[in-house]
Amino acid sequence: MILSEDAVREADALCAFINASPSPFHAVSAAADMLTAAGFAATAQAESWVDPDRPVPARGFLTREGALVAWDLGAPDSAQCPPWTSYRIIAAHTDSPNLRIKPRPDLIRGGWEQLSVEVYGGPLLNSWLDRDLGLSGAVTVRAGGSGSGGVERVLFRVDDPVLRVPQLAVHLERSVNEEGLRLNPQTHLVPIWGAGGDAPGFAEYLSEQVGCAPGDLLGWDAMTHDLTPARRVGRAGDLIAAARQDNLTSCHAAIRALVEAGARRGEGGPAPVAVVALFDHEEIGSTTERGAASPLLSAVLERLVLARAGTRDDLWRALAGTVVASADMAHAVHPNYPERHEPQHQPMVNAGPVMKVNSRGRYATDSLGGAVLTLAAQQAGVPLQVFLSRGDMPCGSTVGPLVAAGLGVSTVDVGSPMLAMHSARELAGSADQRWYVELLTAFLTPS
């Protein structure tokens, strides 16, 4: 496939975003940098949003650990946007399946120095074997050093190949190629990070990485990441091989769409208010303080209404016309397993974004939300595919049903097609990211 210059630029920008985002905390930081460069103002959740001397920014965002909510009121002054104005919301998630370091990880077995890990989400476990792995995440440290009260959060990233999970040699398990690989998450996925038994404890090592005294390190959210960089691959460079495409691809497309939507409609542009919500913890059910089941998004929407001198009634008026696009990745038809796909719904890579449908509510697409997305695709001139799981196979889910139920709004599930979802390294099409951005931009700016 011959790629356009726009498609190449968007695909390369996506790869750069993924490479900058080994953890949800880093993904939020990278997204915040994109928004700040486009003129969005950071706003703290603890600040008053109804202070007349400090009005809430018309284009702003807030962050909460691995989650972010951003908005564009479509006017240079928040007072120019009526509080009952409806919303167009893109919801995605920053987390991906991986291996996370346990609170007491230090092990020595058979002379090997190891770190005990816990499986996060539902990864393809075999894909984490025999890979060079780094570490990333956030730590909690005592603010101001020893003897000082309070705590602060510090991001860290180790891109050296410090960890590796070696596979058992075929000579010691002769049946593996005939009977398949079976892995016990407790015993078979413990990575090695040295030999000899003289390695420092993980807490001491991590303290050195973030520059604090060991006694000031109070806790961590530490996870592994594959060190192979995201890049375009294939004979013509028309494919993207990368970790965490589910769901950083959607996060990148959502932020790019929010920025482009603002540039396209200009001052005094039409309703609705454009919002992007990037949640954390989707891969483990979303029921956390920054997951899609939390009040994070609903609180922001209500506070935006109150900031414009609106009432609770104005909020419900706004929600009556609100539509959400739940942006998460979709399954492209696998050439080696075509029988795993519903015969009439087989998305392909480099053929456009995918609307996802499930009558059991695993995807939140309703007829109104589907119609809105279809019109957006027509407006943008973007091809739109449809995915439906086989009737004899279970279906995955997204943040869509939780957001739809929490806000009581029409919703559509949409994503970009890919292979090897939940692998340590996934495969998608280089042309699809530009189409994804254009579709979501049109969704935010209906004509």
Of 115-124, 195-204, 323-332, 368-377, where does mean pLDDT reach its minimum? 195-204
Pair 364, 358: CB distance under 8 Å: no
Provide the pLDDT for residue 267: 47
Residue 268's pLDDT band, with cuts at 50, 70 and 90, is very low
CATH number at residue 301: 3.40.630.10
Residues 265, 285 within the same domain: yes
Give the type of residue at 306. L
Residues 411, 263 within the same domain: yes
Asked whether the whole model's pTM tops 0.85, one would answer yes
CATH number at residue 222: 2.30.250.10
Provide the pLDDT for residue 419: 98
- For 218-239, write each residue's pLDDT tens digit: 999 999 999 999 999 999 999 9
Provide the pLDDT for residue 59: 95
Pair 120, 98: CB distance under 8 Å: yes
> What is the domain range of residue 170?
99-226
Last residue of one domain, picked from the residues 200, 226, 252: 226
* 187 located within any domain: yes
Residue 197's pLDDT band, with cuts at 50, 70 and 90, is confident
The pLDDT of 53-77, averaged and rounded, is 93
Q: In a 3-state reduction of DSSP, which class is residue 289?
A: coil
Look at residue 20 and tell me whether its pLDDT is greater than 90.
Answer: yes
In which order are the strands placed within the sheet that holds 41-42? 41-42, 59-64, 67-72, 273-279, 87-93, 323-327, 410-415, 354-356, 385-387
Determine what percent of the chain falls in helix, strand and coil, rounding each to the nearest 5.
Answer: 30, 25, 40
Provide the pLDDT for residue 19: 98
Residue 146's pLDDT band, with cuts at 50, 70 and 90, is low
If you ran DSSP here, which 8-state letter would residue 228 be given?
A: S
Last residue of one domain, picked from the residues 173, 195, 226: 226
> Nearest CA to 228 among 106, 313, 131, 298?
131
Q: Strand pairing of 426-429 and 239-242? A: antiparallel
> How many domains are there within the chain?
2
The pLDDT of 139-151, averaged and rounded, is 77
Provide the pLDDT for residue 301: 98
Q: Strand pairing of 323-327 and 410-415? A: parallel
Residues 87, 104 within the same domain: no
Residues 43, 172 within the same domain: no
Residues 57, 166 within the same domain: no
Sign of CA dihedral 205, 210, 215, 217: negative
* 397 located within any domain: yes
Look at residue 144 and tell me whether its pLDDT is greater than 90.
Answer: no
Write b or e for each residue in 181-193: b if 16 or more Cβ atoms lie within 10 A of its Cβ, otherwise e. Answer: eebeeeeebbbbb
- For 149-184, write each residue's pLDDT tens digit: 689 999 999 999 999 999 999 999 999 999 999 999
Q: In a 3-state reduction of DSSP, which class is residue 26?
A: helix
Residues 106, 196 within the same domain: yes
Two tokens at 45?
């959740």
Provide the pLDDT for residue 199: 74
Provide the pLDDT for residue 384: 98
Residues 275, 392 within the same domain: yes
Provide the pLDDT for residue 68: 98
If you ran DSSP here, which 8-state letter would residue 166 be given?
A: P
Two tokens at 376?
């957006």
Distance CA 254, CA 342 (A): 28
As to burial, measured by CB atoms within 10 angstroms (0-12 exposed, 13-18 middle, 19+ buried), residue 119 is: middle
Distance CA 408, CA 39 (A): 31
Provide the pLDDT for residue 148: 52
Q: In a 3-state reduction of DSSP, which class is residue 104?
A: strand
Residues 257, 273 within the same domain: yes
Residues 45, 108 within the same domain: no
Write b or e for each residue in 218-235: b if 16 or more Cβ atoms lie within 10 A of its Cβ, otherwise e. Answer: eebbbbbbbbeebebeee
Mean pLDDT for the chain overall: 94
* 173 located within any domain: yes
